[in-house]
């Protein structure tokens, strides 16, 4: 995959332009099917659970993902790009800051 292709750059810019949860929900729904959104949400949840050292069995039960998909997520989580790690850290930081405000 070439991230420098104009189409990829446009997609990344579109994602970065989203400012609210509502905007993100509407964009994702226009971009993907409900099933695709659910699949990606499950993969993110699996990455969070893997980062928390949950077992594959527990992750399979909670998400309904196959062990092969969980293994793929684990491979990406441990890879050099750190996409999942970065997002998980940001989400954790954001939720920590939100709970401090309450």
37-54: pLDDT as tens digits? 999 999 999 999 999 999
Rounded CA separation 96/49 (Å): 17
What does each C-alpha distance from 38 to 16, 24, 45, 61 come to in angstroms?
Answer: 21, 14, 10, 15
Minimal CA–CA distance to 76: which of 50, 42, 37?
50
Q: Is the pLDDT of residue 21 over 80?
A: yes
User: What pLDDT, on a 0 to 100 scale, did the predictor assign at position 96?
Assistant: 64
């Amino acid at each position: 995959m070439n991230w420098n292709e104009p189409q990829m750059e446009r997609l990344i810019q579109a994602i970065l332009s989203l400012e609210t949860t509502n905007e993100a929900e509407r964009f994702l729904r226009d971009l993907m099917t409900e099933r695709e959104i659910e699949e990606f949400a499950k993969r993110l949840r699996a990455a969070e659970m893997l980062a928390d050292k949950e077992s594959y069995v527990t992750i399979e039960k909670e998400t309904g993902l196959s062990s092969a998909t969980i293994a793929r997520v684990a491979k990406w989580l441990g890879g050099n790009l750190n996409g999942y790690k970065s997002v998980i850290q940001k989400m954790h930081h954001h939720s920590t800051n939100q709970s401090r405000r309450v």
